Amino acid sequence: MGGTGWVRGEARVADDSDFQTLKNLLASDIGWNLEYERDGVKVWAEDAAHGALRTVKVVADFEDVEPDALYDVLHDPEYRSVWDTHMLAAEDAGHINVNNDVGYYAMSCPAPLKNRDFVLQRSWLDTGDEKMILNHSVYHKDYPPRKGFVRALSLLTGFVVRSRPVGPGSWLGYVSRSDPRGALPAWLVNRVTAQLAPRLVHQLQAAARRYPGWKALTDHPYHKPWRHPEQVPSYRIKLEDCIDPDAPPPPAPQQEPKPNTSKKLSLPQVQVKEVESQSVEDLGDISSEFSVEVEELSDLNIDPTKKKGKFYRLVKSMKNRRKSVQVTKSTDNLVDGKPEEKQEKKKPFKFHRRFSLSRGRED
């Protein structure tokens, strides 16, 4: 189904695209299964693969609750301890800016399950016509995992509050995808989440009805930092404190291969004449002055990859000398314009020398 643009555990300032993703999830009808519908409350579950955590979506109409009161209930940390019966602790780690903060939240779970806790970044946006809240799990160095709690994850949680299209009251859209972690199977988490979502909505409705009267009796009835940025504390937390040192680095983005725009130059093919291999006796005039016969030892197995000895270097140098002499003669004939005359072959005088490969020296 997809989520916001945050990488898991990333702490950063939310932008317009993150809130737009939340609105798109609420407006989408494809890939959702209706699980509950009663008293103006509808609950959809994501059509996900078997064994995977599913996203839950809730839409509700409240005729007796104003949008401002519902928005304040979702924000006010003091009032949460009044209506949220599962809350064990809530602490404010600090603000990133006037519309983003980080906090700690611990909740009780029914036996035999262990209690869960979260470290959450909240982001909110009030455009007048609609009010939106997002939260997701992050890391903070001052809130490591605590004994007796399982550190759960909020992968995506969001609220959208609007006025009803017709008549007084408010419209609420709610999306949640959480991982309680621990040993709970995914199918059980999906079932419990779908059953608890309607209860949470009705609990919010009842709390919003009582909020205006409760807030008026507090010592600071006009203290609402989520509405008045000047009331936000000046202290700012550092994003460096929200980087988990044990987290694996994010995958590097795959770069698409650049197209090869260079033009290939077609070079003319040059035909190379093969030079026939010549034996030691076929070295012409130069080899006739000095030839060598080597005693082959059939009982020795010599590695062909090893470098040759004196005899190889001698033959190689004579071949190179013969080629240079032939090139010089052919050049002189072209200059004089005379055809090359055949010389009578002299009977070669062979000087016999034995060269022992086994001893590596001359006998």
Instruction: Please report the pLDDT score of residue 291 as a whole number.
Output: 40
User: How open is the CA angle 306-310-314, to the nearest 5 degrees?
Assistant: 115
Closest CA to 174 of 203, 214, 210, 215: 203
Question: Residue-wise pLDDT tens for the chain (363 aa)?
Answer: 444 467 888 999 999 999 999 999 999 999 999 999 998 899 999 887 666 888 999 999 999 999 999 999 999 999 999 999 999 999 999 999 999 999 999 999 888 889 999 999 999 999 999 999 999 999 999 999 999 999 999 999 999 999 999 889 999 999 999 999 988 888 888 888 888 888 999 999 999 999 999 999 999 999 999 999 999 999 899 999 999 888 776 666 566 666 666 555 555 555 545 544 444 444 444 444 434 443 444 444 445 554 556 555 665 666 666 666 565 666 555 555 555 555 555 555 554 555 445 555 444
The architecture of the domain spanning 17-244 is 2-Layer Sandwich (3.30)
Closest CA to 174 of 48, 10, 34, 23: 23
Structure tokens that stand for 177 in this block? 């995808």
Closest CA to 102 of 90, 112, 94: 94
Within 13 Å and on the Cβ side, how many CA atoms surround 335?
A: 6
Q: Count other Cβ atoms within 10 Å, centred on residue 272.
A: 6
Is the torsion defined by CA of 137, 192, 25, 249 positive or negative?
A: positive
Instruction: Please report the pLDDT score of residue 194 as a whole number.
Output: 84
Contact, 58 vs 42, CB < 8 A? yes
Structure tokens that stand for 291 in this block? 């030839």
Q: What is the pTM of this model?
A: 0.67
Instruction: Please report the pLDDT score of residue 278 as a whole number.
Output: 47
Q: What are the sequence ranges of the domains in the chain?
A: 17-244
